[in-house]
Structure 1
């Protein structure tokens, strides 16, 4: 599932492939990924305009042009791919933007179509982003603590709630909490100030490392690199990892490094 580091990678793809270039043609293979805009209006409003400087907030990619602005969300399986027009169209290429030089194409590719593409102006962008919390890569420690404190329930769902902190998904949150030695089902109200500070510190470290490679890297020294092994063990202490569901999501944790709340 694309999380903050993946979407930052898609932003860089847009910069390298399309920034400053004119949209010559738009082909919509599947209107199911369009929200609030028809294929005809998308073509009328965007063809002939140039992409300008894209921005990312959490899991959202804001792609302005010198006309309207595209908003892209990648759901569970979305990608943004730069291709030559000579490359075969993938079955999951839903919208293709053909650019003005070298016959390059920017393709929105998505298997499951859980999110997609919006089109609008400043008001649309503001409305969408106003529903998001501060970006997880840039939020400072004080604001992070203020937004977490007072939340009901467990820490994992709190961190995954985009209106609290924007950009974190399942892999990132499991990785961050493992590093901070906090059990995913630990009630937020029971966290100490030191634990909240540790979660913020590890969040920044994990995100900075992940953004460099455009994904949560499956390194052997990371929980992410071990979580799907047949007999997965903790990279830090060697204890067999546990699997459970927290907040409705598959969750991986170490019973020694992250003791459950009833044994903490």
Structure 2
């Protein structure tokens, strides 16, 4: 599932492929990925517009058009953006193709179509952003502590809640908590200030490495590199990892290291 580092990579793709360029064509190959806008309206209003500088907030990628609306992506479980030559064959999971005035194409590819593309004007965009917490890459220690200290939920669930902090998904939360030595089942409000700050510092380090890789890297020294082994063991102590369902997702942790 695309998380903050993946979406940051998509932002870079969009900046190279479509930033500051005029749209000359919009091909909707599957209208099922459009959220709150018809195929006809998107094609009519987006064609001829020039896209501005893309920005990311959490897992959302936002790019303003010079005619007013903002093109917004949420990538769900399997979405991605690709900058392609028009000569490149269309993939069977390509759902939207945006062509620019000097030839490149931006292709939205998505197998499962759980989220998709919105075409938002100011008030709708404001409502979206108001529902999101601070971005995980820029949240301050004080903001994170304030948000977590008011949550009864387990810290793993709280970190995955996009209204608490935006951008973290399952892999990132497990990795951050493993590196910070925090049990994911601990109620968020029971963590003291020292642990909040340790989580914040760890989150920053994990995100910076992951943003460079444009994914949560499966490094052998990281939990992510071991969690899917046939007999997963902790990279730090070598003991068996445990797993359970939390917030609907498979959560992995080391019961020896994360106390």
**Which secondary structure does the structure 2 equivalent of 1:235 belong to?**
coil
1:248 is displaced (CA, Å) by 2.2
1:124 is displaced (CA, Å) by 2.0
Instruction: Find the aligned partners of 2:97 and 2:110 in 1 and give their Cα distance.
Output: 12
1:197 is displaced (CA, Å) by 1.1
**Which secondary structure does the structure 2 equivalent of 1:251 belong to?**
strand
After superposition, the C-alpha distances for 1:172-207 in whole angstroms (9 at most, x for unaligned) are 000000011111111123212211111111111101
Match of 2:191 in 1: 191
Instruction: Find the aligned partners of 1:248 and 1:72 in 2 and give their Cα distance.
Output: 23
Match of 2:38 in 1: 38
Instruction: Find the aligned partners of 1:81 and 1:88 in 2 and give their Cα distance.
Output: 12
Instruction: Find the aligned partners of 1:83 and 1:152 in 2 and give their Cα distance.
Output: 46
Instruction: Find the aligned partners of 1:75 and 1:209 in 2 and give their Cα distance.
Output: 22
1:121 is displaced (CA, Å) by 1.9
Match of 2:164 in 1: 164
1:51 is displaced (CA, Å) by 1.2
- Per the normalisation by structure 1, the TM-score is 0.96
**Which secondary structure does the structure 2 equivalent of 1:198 belong to?**
helix
Instruction: Find the aligned partners of 2:49 and 2:11 in 1 and give their Cα distance.
Output: 18
Match of 1:174 in 2: 174
Instruction: Find the aligned partners of 1:125 and 1:95 in 2 and give their Cα distance.
Output: 21
Match of 1:17 in 2: 17
Asked if the contact 2:148/2:189 (under 8 Å) is kept, the reply is: no
- Per the normalisation by structure 2, the TM-score is 0.97
Match of 2:87 in 1: 86
1:93 is displaced (CA, Å) by 0.6
After superposition, the C-alpha distances for 1:103-151 in whole angstroms (9 at most, x for unaligned) are 2110111111111011022222211111100000000000110011120
Of stretches 112-121 and 165-174 in structure 1, the one that deviates more from structure 2 is 112-121
Matches within 5 A, 1:1-264: 1-67=1-67, 68-101=69-102, 103-259=103-259
Instruction: Find the aligned partners of 2:124 and 2:91 in 1 and give their Cα distance.
Output: 30
Of stretches 169-178 and 32-41 in structure 1, the one that deviates more from structure 2 is 32-41
1:247 is displaced (CA, Å) by 2.3
Unaligned stretches of 5+ in structure 2? Answer: none
Instruction: Find the aligned partners of 2:50 and 2:141 in 1 and give their Cα distance.
Output: 38
**Which secondary structure does the structure 2 equivalent of 1:50 belong to?**
coil
1:209 is displaced (CA, Å) by 0.8
Unaligned stretches of 5+ in structure 1? Answer: 260-264
Task: Report the aligned-residue RMSD.
Answer: 0.9
**Which secondary structure does the structure 1 equivalent of 2:216 belong to?**
coil
**How many residues are paired up?**
258
Match of 1:262 in 2: none
Which 4+ stretches in 1 moved above 2 angstroms?
none
